[in-house]
Chains A and B, each alone.
Chain A
Amino acid sequence: MKKLGLVTKLAIVTTAVVAVIFTLAMFLLYTGSKKNILNLEIDDAKTDLSHTAEMLFLLKNTGLSFEQLELYAETPWSDGSCQNIYDLVQADSVAAVERRIKEEEPDAIILKSTIYDDDARYVLLEKFILSEHLLPVHDAMKQIVHLAFIILILMGLFIFLVIKYQLRPELERTTRIDTELEIARNLQDKMLPSLESLKGELDTLEVGGLMKPAKEIGGDYYNVLKVGDELHFIIADVSGKGIPAAMFMVRLSELYLLDLTGSSKREPNRIAEDLNNRLCVGNAACMFVTAILGRLNVRTGRLELCSAGHEPPLVVSEEGEASFLTLDNDVPIGLVKDSPYKLYTTYLKGNSHLLLYTDGVTEAENEKLEFFGSGRLSQMMKGQGENSAEQVIDIITKEVREFTGTRPQNDDITLLDIKLLSASENSPHTTKLELANDLSELTKLLEMAESMGISGNATLAMEEAFVNVVNYSHADLITVEVDQCPESLTLKITDNGIPFDPTLHRREEESPLDENGFLKVGGEGINLMMNLAREVAYQRIGDNNVLTIIANI
Chain B
Amino acid sequence: MGNYKISQKEDIVTVIISGHLDTLTASQLDIETQNLLSGAVRHLTLDINQLDYISSSGIRCFVRLFNEAKANGIEFKIIGIQPAIREILDITRISQVLGV
> CB < 8 Å: which of A463, A467, A518, A532 contacts B91?
A532
Q: Which residues of B contact A528 (CB under 8 A)?
A: 55-56, 59, 88, 91-92
Q: Which residues of B contact A527 (CB under 8 A)?
A: 56, 91-92
Q: A512-B94, A512-B96, A518-B67 are in contact. Are A524 and B53 (CB under 8 A)?
A: no
Q: Are B94 and A519 in contact (CB under 8 A)?
A: yes
CA distance A184 to B87 in the complex (A): 58
Q: Are A446 and B96 in contact (CB under 8 A)?
A: no
CA distance A532 to B89 in the complex (A): 12
Q: Are A464 and B56 in contact (CB under 8 A)?
A: yes
Q: A442-B24, A512-B94, A528-B88 are in contact. Are A464 and B67 (CB under 8 A)?
A: no
> Which A residues, 498 to 529, have Cβ-Cβ distances below 8 Å to chain B?
512-513, 517-519, 521, 524-525, 527-528
Shortest Cβ distance from A448 into chain B, in angstroms? 13
Is residue B63 contacting chain A, with contact meaning CB distance below 8 A?
yes
Is residue B50 contacting chain A, with contact meaning CB distance below 8 A?
no
Is residue A406 contacting chain B, with contact meaning CB distance below 8 A?
no
Residue interface bits A444-472, CB-to-B below 8 A is 1, else 0: 00100000000011011001100100000
> CB < 8 Å: which of B22, B23, B60, B84 contacts A521?
B60
Q: Which residues of A contact B24 (CB under 8 A)?
A: 439-440, 442-443
Query: Interface SS of chain A: helix, strand, loop or mixed?
Result: helix
Q: Which residues of B contact A456 (CB under 8 A)?
A: 52-53, 84
Q: Which residues of A contact B64 (CB under 8 A)?
A: 521
Q: Are B23 and A519 in contact (CB under 8 A)?
A: no
> CB < 8 Å: which of B22, B56, B97 contacts A446?
B22
Shortest Cβ distance from A426 into chain B, in angstroms? 27
Which of A446, A456, A519, A525 gathers the greatest number of chain B CB atoms within 10 Å?
A: A519
Q: A442-B22, A517-B70 are in contact. Are A460 and B93 (CB under 8 A)?
A: no
CA distance A527 to B59 in the complex (A): 12
Shortest Cβ distance from B8 into chain A, in angstroms? 24
Residue interface bits B11-46, CB-to-A below 8 A is 1, else 0: 000000000101110000000000000000000000
Is residue B57 contacting chain A, with contact meaning CB distance below 8 A?
yes
Which residue numbers of B lie inside 8 Å of A, CB to CB?
Answer: 20, 22-24, 52-57, 59-60, 63-64, 66-67, 70-71, 84, 87-88, 91-94, 96-97
Which residue numbers of A lie inside 8 Å of B, CB to CB?
Answer: 439-440, 442-443, 446, 456-457, 459-460, 463-464, 467, 512-513, 517-519, 521, 524-525, 527-528, 531-532
8 contacts between A and B (CB under 8 A): A460-B54, A460-B55, A463-B23, A467-B56, A512-B97, A521-B60, A521-B64, A524-B59
